[in-house]
């Protein structure tokens, strides 16, 4: 079955960087767009970034543009989220999620990982 496993979270000081990974299995990885969605403690969901199935398209929410970079390695079935210049406002559980539909996608999040917690604190 579809499985997504995030890793790389932890406690990081403001201004520092962190890279999250999302390892996928159970489906043809290079057929699907992958998203990152975050949830600050006790708050709602915020979509962060998406990378298309073929790596041709990337989109970001304005609050992370220029600081976060999404990438994928289709040979390793893994998506990455490189996060720079972190601030307290980036503290959240970060989920990776697979698009519901293959190819161009539908931008519905049909499969989710368990999440990884990023805490930005001095």
> Distance between CA atoms of 119 and 122, rounded to whole angstroms?
10
Q: Between 82 and 101, whose beta carbon lies closer to other proteins?
A: 101
Q: Which of helix, strand or coil describes residue 120?
A: strand
Q: Does 100 bind other proteins (CB under 8 A)?
A: yes
Q: Does 17 bind other proteins (CB under 8 A)?
A: no
Q: Does 117 bind other proteins (CB under 8 A)?
A: no
Residue 77, judged by CB atoms within 10 A of its CB (0-12, 13-18, 19+), counts as middle
Q: Shortest gap between Cβ of 110 and other proteins (angstroms)?
A: 5
Half-sphere exposure of 113 (CA within 13 A, CB side): 25
Q: Does 47 bind other proteins (CB under 8 A)?
A: yes
Going residue by residue from 50 to 89, which x/- string records binding to other proteins, judged by CB under 8 A?
Answer: x--------xxxx---------------------------
How far, rounded to the nearest angstrom, does the alpha carbon of residue 34 sit from its chain's CA centroid? 7
């Amino acid at each position: 079955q579809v499985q997504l496993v995030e890793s790389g979270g932890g406690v990081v000081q403001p201004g520092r960087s962190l890279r999250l990974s999302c390892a996928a299995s159970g489906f043809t990885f290079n057929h699907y767009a992958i998203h990152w969605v975050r949830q600050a403690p006790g708050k709602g969901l915020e979509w962060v970034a998406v990378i298309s199935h073929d790596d041709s398209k990337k989109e970001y929410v304005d609050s992370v543009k220029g600081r976060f970079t999404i990438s994928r390695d289709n040979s390793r079935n893994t998506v990455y989220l490189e996060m720079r210049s972190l601030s307290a406002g980036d503290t959240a559980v970060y989920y990776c999620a697979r698009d519901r539909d293959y190819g161009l996608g539908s931008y519905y999040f049909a499969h989710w990982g368990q999440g990884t917690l990023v805490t930005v604190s001095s």
